[in-house]
Structure 1
């Protein structure tokens, strides 16, 4: 099999397939000795199902820095009454998931990839396109750095990001929605050390999240309108901390210090279909979600592990029957997660006065109705519906 893209989802799939003894070619843009750019200082919120799976794959054990457990989730909106407070202990669990710094996670993935026995890595390499199929198999053209070569594969997996070249080569279109916002991400030190609470404060300008890292700092994620993003990024540390404090409030105490800020545009990209003959799209190539709710990587990993689970029992990993079963199994989770992510983003970013009582009622309902809370918790932990067996395996 050929996987194009060595980021979060592509690398995880390669590791899962290696455990099955499947021969895989991984096409990566990053040279040996370097970590892909996607593994930066962003904070990844790993759902409990994701923690289980990555532990079973031997990835999380290789982290060099401590993770931050998420024991509580607190959601509120400035100007609206009501709140949501979810405690893992109320559901017989120690945590909803863990916060991992993307760069640390990238290093752990690289260590796991280095131990794969059935994996051939082409790096730095780039996907050039498709050649005519041969004997019913895909012919993939790549630039290996030493010239163009062709790889023959029963299944081509495009895990090459929002601007997927594989998606384009397959003739699959994509719907795009620009939320008109950018995220500013930084590590901050607060007067109160993280206590396991993941805070989500929704404001008129956008969401502000404070995530409990494992290094006694918080991961700050702050959404601002596109028109103000450059000005926010240019603020000195004192002005930036004052702005972030005003947006978030004082629940974690005073903001004392901040690391460098990174900015990211917020654009939803949704592939019009995720399969083609002997080809499949995963991760951001299939769907790039609004980061509010932290569902993107968690959904992509469940997609990848479902594919690996089906391949484990199949003779032909790219057969029409296998791809059809993949679609059937993944459709409910994918649709539910897409609706949740997009609906939450649109509702919380709409400042229309008429929506204010609806938002408040929604927060009150979510904060007080056990059935609704259980639904939210099941989705947040990644256990809703048909999920891969590795996700349900209790982490050691």
Structure 2
């Protein structure tokens, strides 16, 4: 059956837009279905702070996105983790692992603007916006037909592969009949820009407590990106605190390693919920990013994992006769299995273990923190995961990734 595009991507957020750029780089005809109209940023591109692993920085550089950032990213050269009430701490230094830094911190809004600039330069892609995925239609064996609603009404698009990149509450996943397991961590995450008495020194901090983590990420503008978890039952009361009271609460939770907290910007609140699709592929369809798995933000694994989904898929599609073939989707599942499973286990296990107040767990956690601090092989394993190197890594994530897209950037 005749098709309009080789690939149709549903969702123009972080992962969907990145996938469109990766496919455009290798000349694949792509449709990008975006809910937001031209000139409007998707809600995901807000003031949240994104921690990019080294592998992610490599890939986004090869795609020309890092060069398009207007604001300077913050460098993560050290990672410090500790837990209130437990002995020991973990300090990872990139220099000890032959790296200048583990990754970078980018404000989501800045990242969205850089993606938008690159998307405006698509050569093989068509953007449908504002448009919404309404469901599937009869498409036959050679393609998928999708119903799309836009300002002109409803129409049909056909593609040999449909990619669901439409977030944790994925309509594509529901339309495919793929179930998802959901776990609510009973935490709410307050996100804001934070200024301290001392200028950030390229150290990313994670302070763990019963209510969840409090993280400080070094931004490029001299501030920290704050993520402060509170129990869901306390979230409404915390949201009503004025800036001084909120800063005092965060200072008490975090401690004084970064100095005195001076000011805080506008706050937003997000639930900490884990959503894991029971399958990531269906006939001529695949789920990537949060549509496939949405993680607790502890350890900053979510977007990095989703980007590796997208880049692995793009790598397999490059040069393939049929991007939606059963064999290609099986290869995708096989290649993503180790990275996905290990990252899900790490994130969920860490979130559960570090927020459990049981007294018998404290000596075990303390022993683990002391062991990581003393055993180089354990540090190397953690450092490799922090830099995004788990399982079979997509070629663009490696340091020798081609950067031919960089010359196409207009600043």
**TM-score (normalizing by structure 1):** 0.99
The equivalences for 1:130-169 within 5 A come to 130-169=136-175
Give yes or no for contact 2:51–2:106 (8 Å, CA) kept in 1.
Answer: yes
Aligned residue among 307, 328, 332 for 2:334 = 328
Question: By how many angstroms is 1:15 displaced?
Answer: 0.4
* Alignment gaps of 5+ in structure 1: none
Please say if 1:181 is aligned against 2:201.
no
Q: 1:104 aligns to what SS in structure 2?
A: helix
Q: Which residue of 2 aligns with 1:65?
A: 71
Q: How many residues align?
A: 396
Q: Which residue of 1 aligns with 2:208?
A: 202
Q: Which residue of 2 aligns with 1:113?
A: 119
The equivalences for 1:1-396 within 5 A come to 1-394=7-400
- The alignment yields a C-alpha RMSD, in angstroms, of 0.9
Q: 2:41 aligns to what SS in structure 1?
A: coil
Q: 1:26 aligns to what SS in structure 2?
A: strand
CA deviations on 1:149-179 (whole Å, 9 max, x unpaired) are 1011100000000110000000000000000
Give yes or no for contact 2:184–2:273 (8 Å, CA) kept in 1.
Answer: yes
Whole-Å separation in 2 of the counterparts to 1:34 and 1:71: 34
CA deviations on 1:360-394 (whole Å, 9 max, x unpaired) are 01111111111111111111101232100000034
Q: 2:177 aligns to what SS in structure 1?
A: coil
Question: By how many angstroms is 1:355 displaced?
Answer: 0.5
Give yes or no for contact 2:48–2:107 (8 Å, CA) kept in 1.
Answer: yes
Question: By how many angstroms is 1:247 displaced?
Answer: 0.4
Q: 1:387 aligns to what SS in structure 2?
A: coil
Whole-Å separation in 1 of the counterparts to 2:207 and 2:140: 54
Question: By how many angstroms is 1:135 displaced?
Answer: 4.9
Question: By how many angstroms is 1:134 displaced?
Answer: 2.8
Deviation beyond 6 Å, 4+ runs, structure 1: none
Question: By how many angstroms is 1:144 displaced?
Answer: 2.0
Give yes or no for contact 1:283–1:300 (8 Å, CA) kept in 2.
Answer: yes
CA deviations on 1:326-376 (whole Å, 9 max, x unpaired) are 111110011010000000000011010010101101111111111111111
Whole-Å separation in 2 of the counterparts to 1:111 and 1:207: 34
Give yes or no for contact 1:56–1:393 (8 Å, CA) kept in 2.
Answer: no
CA deviations on 1:31-77 (whole Å, 9 max, x unpaired) are 10011100000000000000000000000101010100000000000
Whole-Å separation in 2 of the counterparts to 1:393 and 1:23: 27
Q: 1:133 aligns to what SS in structure 2?
A: coil
Whole-Å separation in 2 of the counterparts to 1:116 and 1:42: 26
Q: Which residue of 1 aligns with 2:407?
A: none
